[in-house]
Chain A
Amino acid sequence: MTDTNNSPVGSSWNSDKFMAGLAKRKRSERRFRLIGLAAILTALTLLAILLFSIFSKGYTAFVQTYITLDITFAESVIDKDGTRDPDAIRNANYAKLVQDALRAKFPEVEGRRNLRTLFSLVSNNASDTLRDMVEQDPGLIGKTVEIPLLAGDDVDMVNKGYIDRDLAEENRRVKDQELRWLDILEEEGDLSLHFNTNFFTQGDSREPEKAGIAGAMVGSFYTLLITMAIAFPLGVMTAIYLEEFAPPSKFNDLIEVNINNLAAVPSIVFGLLGLAIFLNVAHLPRSAPIVGGLTLALMTLPTIIIAARAAIRAVPDSIRQAALGLGASKQQAAFHHVLPLSMPGILTGTIIGLAQALGETAPLLMIGMVAFIADIPGGINDPATVMPVQIFLWADSPERAFVEKTSGAIMVLLAFLITMNALAVLLRKKFERRW
């Protein structure tokens, strides 16, 4: 250690100065490593915050508050003449049944305005529920039954604890009077939470408690169907052409450069393309999945082409040679051997491309898929919206209850995306072939 004077070579590597420097370098090494780790952890923390903020807001969207009321199916309201005429039963004033039940529950409430507030505790969808019940079983008429009825969105918010009771009354959407009624209902066990079936079976609605994502899910389904039907074959054909047949030429270079650039064009520009070409030139129906699907297909095409080309390129040349050597034509070699062997890779790329299309919003805003549509679309030409656009629309709505619905819809969308990506990973794991 100390006999540095004896050897002229290698004299400095174990000197004190060097050792001190080494310790400093070791520290800086550790610091650098920690900074890198911190960067990754920061990114992951951000992801965790994002998911937590969505899930903590959204899980309550899957249940909905119901108010149980003693409904008297008074003959005088439903069927004055006692004829049991189906038309009469259908057109009866069921809202009055609900109102009567509420008045019976809170007899002290008087005055038009107070009564209207009282009636708004129950969603206006309650009368439909009652009508369906009576139409199914006219024997109910004249009886009194305890029925859980969908509560209005304010009641739901209070019940789920989203409304701050400590706020001054004038800053609060739900007033003291309503809170009092709700407390009474709560005490008597008339408030209950049920699984929110409406959320998965209904279309959009102005009333948050009735709004569902079924319409948007069906719209997304039709849109993706069109996207897949167009982008997949076109993408595979283009990839096969470029990888297997295209002779090197200026024109084919152009196609290649063009595809790489298209992949990086902002998605909103595709929306403008759809607006200008599909709506204004081809006069396809506005807001329809056919237009949305076409637009997204053009957007997804580069992704699919690039993935398919990589998959085709991964098939070793020896397979092509083997087929050609047996007298197969180039096309037979491509379609009998190369394409089937690259199919898992192509499908993986396609699923990932479709997942992107499923989450895409901006281009669809441009072609009118942003309209309020309550009906569930019945085909590719019906006006429709898609899940991400529905999320955008709800996120824009002022009602407090839509925040919860938005988060719930995001959870459903993420579930779809995770499923699709898991499928892609599975496909790759299962069929990946190492050459």
Chain B
Amino acid sequence: MQIQQIDEQQAARQGDAAEMIIKTRDVDVFYGDNQALKHVSLDIPKHQITSLIGPSGCGKSTYLRCINRMNDTVDGCRVEGEILLDGVNIYGPEVDEVLLRARVGMVFQKPNPFPKSIYDNIAYGPRIHGLAANKDELDEIVLTSLEKAGLIKEVQDRLHSSGTGLSGGQQQRLCIARALAVRPDIILMDEPCSALDPIATAKVEELIDELKENYTIIIVTHSMQQAARISQKTAFFHLGEIVEAGDTEKLFTSPSDERTQGYITGRFG
């Protein structure tokens, strides 16, 4: 029975590249009396990069934070509607938000390594979730995570020096490695390059592109060029609503909505 299911899933993965891992249905988010998101419905395809664009305060970060329930930590925040992850409503009563966040990793706008060693930064997630039975397994996880994040060459001889001593770009890749170490299915990125210089940005973008082989990535970005460069799907948010969503290429070349047109040509934003 179980084996059969897995087979089916694998078949689906290979057969249909656009299998939807997240389905959002009519989501409203309120901060106190303020409505930050209005009737948002969006499907996120598996193993692709989806970028969320839009002017400041349009609700794109709010939406991103709904997917791993980081909004729960904000006082007075209320979420209505459904977000289905593999068919399960993540706001359902039986879902533990902590386990959800282990499945849906997150990378933040400003690199935020813990003021601990590089090794401990990455090992923290596996430690709290018990992903490694012993020290060797933990070492293994740390090294593969660093490798996946393309950081291994730069830091392998100083794993036990502080993570805050790295450069901004390295710190951000450390944070990505840290997220990978928990073996998530989905990685949320909230403007991960906005605090980085162009060279570091290029490296992180390259990394994101490689990661889509194995992970579903949702990225909030201010830079339309970045969205166009790296993502397959794009959703344009405006005033708490999704104006337009679809293939990145189509959205940037022939947007169907006037507001999208206005935003990508730089008339407002």
Contact = CB atoms under 8 A, between A and B. Distances in A.
A326 B125 CA distance: 6
B73 A326 contact: no
A329 interface: yes
A100 B158 CA distance: 81
Contacts of B70: 321, 324-325
Given A336-B128, A337-B114, A433-B115, A325 B101 contact: yes
B99 A327 contact: yes
A323 B99 contact: no
Interface string B78-116: 000000000000000000001111110111101011110
Contacts of B106: 321, 325-326
B129 interface: yes
A430 to B, nearest CB: 15
Given A327-B99, A328-B98, A329-B98, A322 B75 contact: no
A332 interface: yes
Contacts of A332: 128
Select the residue from A320, A321, A325, A337 with max chain B CB neighbours within 10 A: A325
A324 B70 CA distance: 8
Contact of B75 (A247, A323, A326): A247
A395 B106 CA distance: 66
Interface in B27-76: 68, 70, 73, 75-76
B115 A327 contact: no
B252 interface: no
Interface string A312-347: 000010111111111111101000110001000000
Main secondary structure of the interface of A (DSSP, over half): helix
A341 B108 contact: no
A335 to B, nearest CB: 11
Interface residues of A, number: 21
A326 B105 CA distance: 6
Contacts of A328: 98, 101, 124-125, 128
Contacts of B124: 323, 326, 328, 336
B178 interface: yes
A327 B125 contact: yes
A327 B175 contact: no
A316 B115 CA distance: 11
B235 interface: no
Contact of B108 (A248, A321, A327, A329): A321
Contacts of B75: 247-248
B34 to A, nearest CB: 16
Contact of A327 (B73, B113, B129): B129
Given A247-B75, A248-B75, A336-B124, A325 B114 contact: no
Contact of B112 (A319, A330, A433): A319
B251 interface: no
B182 interface: yes
Contacts of B113: 322
A324 B179 CA distance: 11
Select the residue from A248, A322, A328 with max chain B CB neighbours within 10 A: A322
Contact of B68 (A248, A320, A323, A325): A325
B18 to A, nearest CB: 27
Nearest to B181: A326
A320 B102 CA distance: 15
Contacts of B129: 327
Nearest to A433: B115
Interface string A346-390: 000000000000000000000000000000000000000000000
Select the residue from B70, B99, B100, B128 with max chain A CB neighbours within 10 A: B128
Contacts of B110: 318
A319 B113 CA distance: 7
A326 B177 CA distance: 11
Nearest to A321: B108
A324 B178 CA distance: 12
Nearest to B107: A325
A332 B178 CA distance: 16
A322 to B, nearest CB: 4
Contact of A326 (B76, B115, B178): B178
Closest 6 CB pairs of A and B: A327-B102, A325-B106, A318-B112, A327-B101, A326-B125, A322-B112
14 contacts: A248-B75, A320-B73, A321-B108, A322-B114, A322-B178, A323-B114, A325-B107, A325-B108, A326-B124, A327-B100, A327-B129, A329-B98, A336-B124, A433-B115
Interface of B: 68, 70, 73, 75-76, 98-103, 105-108, 110, 112-115, 124-125, 128-129, 175, 178-179, 182
Interface of A: 247-248, 316, 318-330, 332, 336-337, 341, 433
Given A323-B114, A323-B124, 12 more contacts: A318-B112, A322-B113, A322-B175, A322-B178, A324-B70, A325-B70, A325-B101, A326-B106, A327-B103, A327-B128, A328-B98, A332-B128
